[in-house]
Amino acid sequence: MTTTTLAVLVPLLPFLGSAAGLLLGRTAPGFVRPLAVLPTLAAAVLAVLVAARQGGGKAVDAATQLTPTGSVPIDLALHIDGFAAVVAVLVGVVATCVQIYSTGYLRHDPRYPSYAALVSLFTAAMLLVVYSGDLMVLLVGWEVMGICSYFLVGHYWETPEARSASLKAFLVTKLGDVPFLIGLFALAADAGTFRITGVLGAVTSGALDHPTLVALLLLAGVAGKSAQFPLHTWLPDAMAGPTPVSALIHAATMVAAGIYFVARLLPVFAASAAALTVLAVMAAVTMVGSALAALAQDDIKRVLAYSTIGQLGYMAGALAVADRGAAVFHLLSHGAFKALLFLAAGAVIHAAGTNSLTAMSRMSGLTQRIPDAYWTMTVGLLALAAIPPFAGFFSKEAVLVAAEHTATGDHTAAPAGAGWIVLVAGLLTALLTAAYAMRLWLLAFRGRGAEAPDHGRQPIQMTTVLWVLAVPSLGFGLTAAYLDDWFDGNALTPTLTTAVLGTGLAVVGAAVTYAVRSTLLARTAPPPAAPAGATPVPAAGPAAAPTVAHPDAEAGQVEAEALDLPHPAADPADPGRALLGPLHRPAADGFHLDAVYRAAFVRPVLAAASLVRFLDREVVDTYVRGAGDSAKGLGWLVRRAQTGNVQTYLSALLAGSVVLAVVAVVLANAAAGA
């Protein structure tokens, strides 16, 4: 088979799998699991094959036109360069891991068939985005992902959190998609084509008339999809979905799409210094703000969600300094370790029976219950904190090196100011990232208090996947030297200055957090041997943490129940609170951005809705009701004449005839006289 055929099969297989899964889900439950796993696995294998054949060399292009559109043509086109090839491999591998994990995680879920089909559809849409060589076809995959995320985040739609989170994810990303669509049209109007190769050619020849406008419009859609400030608010709430969905959204699909899109069209953005500066500021605000927010979250999955936003900020920062190699490199390593972190967090939530870090910090022995999740999560957190030699270190260094080169003027593709913004924010975020990674690890695995309950071993599918993903989290960075050829050719290897600075800051952040935690623990240690009958101090004592009602149920159900749990009073030994000080409360609320959105968008929309309701009910309906009422009133008047007395009727008839006769005579006389 040719490379093109293989590449077409990559998005097609999961799509067919999802269609078959949706059709056969009820009639043939036995086929659901193979239909979920096998097409995705095959797509992953084919993506590897395509990558091997493409080999980072010349881009593979193929196109077929289904029907003429009359104006700008829309082609079913493939454009596979090094970026597309490796990102497709990441998507395929992570999606396969998620599908395998889900077979264990949602074993007895009644909605598993539709869930698995939607995950396959999600994967297919992302692969379409990755391989598509036509912006309109790319947009199709982009929007299919939007609707899939809506369905999957709302998987536990019995809970109000999941319902509102899925709506929020859909609406916020759509808020960015509207300018995105306009931007695509503006781009196509300038370039005269939707083909990516054509657009890039137009940029090189300077045919793009409004690069800044187009780039800013496109950035709005990217900010929505890739959860960048100020459109990131949907991502932390999207935690209401099942853990494998979070892993998929955060690691391989959806949020990666925005970064990947910018990487693909980077020359368009690089044509406008203003757009790059805006992107740099956006990335910097996103990184620092999300890292601060992550430090204050109590829900383990929300911590990971904010960390995703921060890491996406790194990628956006790399794009802002016009180095897409570094951005996609970080996308790949982040995809591996973030999928690992989320899947491990699912196991942790299952074992602990709660998603609250405070509650976990009041349990001990969680590490013995789930050794696989413990070790793999440690690897993932080390990679997240960018400690060498884990994957995150190399990719984050690539970003910082690119920023440094731009800042010092070695690279002139982007303004130096953008380089400085990204560099400073990146270093600050490295410190904060290590701090919250350390806090997460300490609170989840170094808790003190009652022994964690034993629910038996985790299913084999879940633990295997964790170890499979731990391998790239550990060793992917070592391929940095080899990956250069696949990307633009910029060196991805770390340099001494940024490596020492970044790692030093990360170590400092982690060490400070550890120290604060130890100090706080020593200060608030429970008084030894409290006298009998004395009321225990609830905050300091190892009070029983609230856990779910059915801790022995399968993982998915435990998580759904954990969504409804009240979060316990804050742990006084929580290092995040001490480190953030007065910033803690706003950070825990995501810096009140939701309130701003409520005032800026939700309230006006609700007011407009009530206005429309008023116009409909009171104005339009008045006419309709008036038409009915006037007919009724006329009928009432006419009915008054119906007395039932025949003689009255006859009298009226006679009177009428006389009047008519008189009129006829008078008229005849008048006519004769004239």
The interface region with other proteins, picked from 72-80, 198-206, 511-519, 642-650 by CB under 8 A, is 642-650
Residue 620: exposure state from Cβ atoms within 10 A (0-12, 13-18, ≥19): exposed
Angle at 559 between CA 553 and CA 563, to 5 degrees: 130
Stretches 21-29, 467-475, 591-599, 634-642: which one binds other proteins (CB under 8 A)?
634-642
Find tokens 């309950």 and name the residue.
Answer: 453
Smallest distance from other proteins to CB 639, Å: 4
Whole-angstrom Cα distance, residue 461 to residue 101? 6
Alpha helices in 446-552 (DSSP H): 460-475, 480-483, 496-523
Name the residue nearer to other proteins (CB basis): 456 or 635. 635
Q: Is the peptide bond before 11 cis (omega within 30 degrees of 0)?
A: no
CB of 667 to other proteins, least distance (A): 23
Region near other proteins per CB under 8 A, out of 418-426, 480-488, 576-584, 637-645: 637-645
Residue nearer to other proteins on the CB measure, 665 or 667: 665
User: Which tokens belong to 180?
Assistant: 């995105």
Does 637 contact other proteins by CB under 8 A? Answer: no
Write down the least CB distance from residue 245 to other proteins, Å.
55
Exposed, middle or buried by CB within 10 Å (0-12, 13-18, 19+), for 19? Answer: middle
What stretches of 22-116 adopt beta strand conformation (E)? 60-64, 76-80
CB 223 within 8 A of CB 234: no
Q: What is the dihedral of CA 271, 274, 276, 282, to 10 degrees?
A: -150
Instruction: Give the residues across from 79 on adjacent strands.
Output: 61
Please give the C-alpha separations between residue 360 and each of 3, 366, 379, 542, 556, in angstroms, as whole numbers.
50, 8, 19, 11, 18
What is the nearest approach in angstroms of other proteins to the Cβ of residue 649?
A: 10
Indicate the helix (H) or strand (E) that contains 6.
helix 3-24
SS3 656: helix
- Pairwise CA distance, residues 443 & 568, whole Å: 14
Secondary structure element (H or E) that encloses residue 169, with its range: helix 160-191
SS3 per-residue string spanning 138-152: HHHHHHHHHHHHHHH
Instruction: Report the relative pairing of strands 363-364 and 450-451 from DSSP bridges.
Output: parallel
3-class SS of residue 60:
strand
Q: Which listed residue (533, 624, 643, 672) binds other proteins by CB under 8 A? A: 643
Minimal distance, residue 661 CB to other proteins, in Å: 14
Closest CB to other proteins among residues 582, 635 = 635
Binding piece for other proteins, criterion CB under 8 A, among 77-85, 155-163, 273-281, 641-649? 641-649
**CA-to-CA distance for 47 and 351, rounded, in angstroms?**
35
Among 644, 670, 673, 674, binds other proteins (CB under 8 A): 644
Taking the complex as a whole, how short is the minimal distance between the CB of residue 636 and other proteins, in angstroms?
A: 9
Name the E strands within 8-98.
Answer: 60-64, 76-80
Interface of this chain with other proteins, residues 386 to 445, rule: CB under 8 A: none
- Alpha carbons 120 and 34: distance in angstroms, whole number: 12
204 or 648: CB nearest other proteins: 648
Mask: binding to other proteins, 580-619, rule CB under 8 A, as x and -? ----------------------------------------
Least Å from the CB of residue 655 to other proteins: 10
Smallest gap, in angstroms, from Cβ of residue 640 to other proteins?
Answer: 7
Residue nearer to other proteins on the CB measure, 27 or 645: 645
* Binding residues for other proteins restricted to 554-583, rule: CB under 8 A: none
Strand partners, 363: 450
Stretch that binds other proteins, among 212-220, 416-424, 481-489, 645-653 (CB under 8 A): 645-653
How far is it, in rounded angstroms, from Cα 196 to Cα 201? 8
Q: What's the distance, CA 174 to chain centroid?
A: 12
Shortest distance, CB of residue 631 to other proteins, whole angstroms? Answer: 14
Q: Token pair of 319, please?
A: 């794009």
Decide if residue 645 touches other proteins (CB under 8 A). Answer: yes
Binding status of residue 642 toward other proteins by CB under 8 A: yes
CB of 648 to other proteins, least distance (A): 9
Cβ 656 to other proteins, closest distance in Å?
Answer: 14
Cβ-based nearer residue to other proteins, 67 or 645: 645
Nearer to other proteins, 69 or 651 (CB): 651
- Least gap, CB of 643 to other proteins (angstroms): 5
Q: Which is nearer to other proteins, 544 or 654 (CB)?
A: 654
Rule CB under 8 A: which of 496-525 touch other proteins?
Answer: none
Binding mask 284-323 for other proteins (x = CB under 8 A): ----------------------------------------
Nearest to 226 by CA among 170, 136, 140, 308: 308
**Nearest CB to other proteins, comparing residues 451 and 629:** 629
State the minimum distance, in angstroms, from the CB of residue 634 to other proteins.
14
Binding of residue 647 to other proteins (CB under 8 A):
yes
Minimum distance of other proteins from residue 651's CB (angstroms): 5
Amino acid (1-letter code) at residue 605: V
**Residue 64 in 3-state DSSP?**
strand
C-beta of 17: minimal distance to other proteins in Å?
Answer: 59
The CA angle 513-518-520, to the nearest 5 degrees, is 95
Nearer to other proteins, 29 or 656 (CB): 656
- 329 near 487, Cβ under 8 Å? yes
Closest by CA position to 356, among listed 433, 434, 440: 440
Neighbouring CB atoms inside 10 A of 608's CB total: 10
Of the pair 585, 632, the CB lying nearest other proteins is at 632
Residue closer to other proteins, measured from CB, 5 or 651: 651
Choose one: 316-324, 341-349, 512-520, 636-644; the region binding other proteins (CB under 8 A).
636-644
Alpha helix stretches (DSSP H) within 297-415: 300-320, 324-352, 357-361, 366-369, 371-384, 391-408
Cβ proximity to other proteins, 71 vs 645, nearer residue:
645
**Six-digit token pair at 368?**
């013995």
Q: Are 277 and 322 in contact (CB under 8 A)?
A: no
Asked whether position 630 contacts other proteins by CB under 8 A, the answer is: no
Considering only residues 650 to 669 of the shown chain, the ones binding other proteins according to CB under 8 A are 650-651, 654
Nearer to other proteins, 496 or 646 (CB): 646
- The answer to whether the bond into 389 is cis (omega within 30° of 0) is yes
Name the residue nearer to other proteins (CB basis): 620 or 658.
658
Minimum CB distance to other proteins smaller for 638 or for 670: 638
User: Three-state SS for 450?
Assistant: strand
Residue 570 dihedral angles phi and psi, to the nearest 5°? -60, 145
Give me the least distance between CB of 663 and other proteins, in Å please. Answer: 20
In the complex, the smallest distance separating the C-beta of residue 24 from other proteins, rounded to whole angstroms, is: 51
Count of residues in contact with other proteins, rule CB under 8 A:
11
Of the residues 66, 532, 619, 646, which one makes contact with other proteins according to CB under 8 A: 646
Residue number with CB closer to other proteins (529 or 646):
646
**Binding residues for other proteins (CB under 8 A):** 639-640, 642-647, 650-651, 654
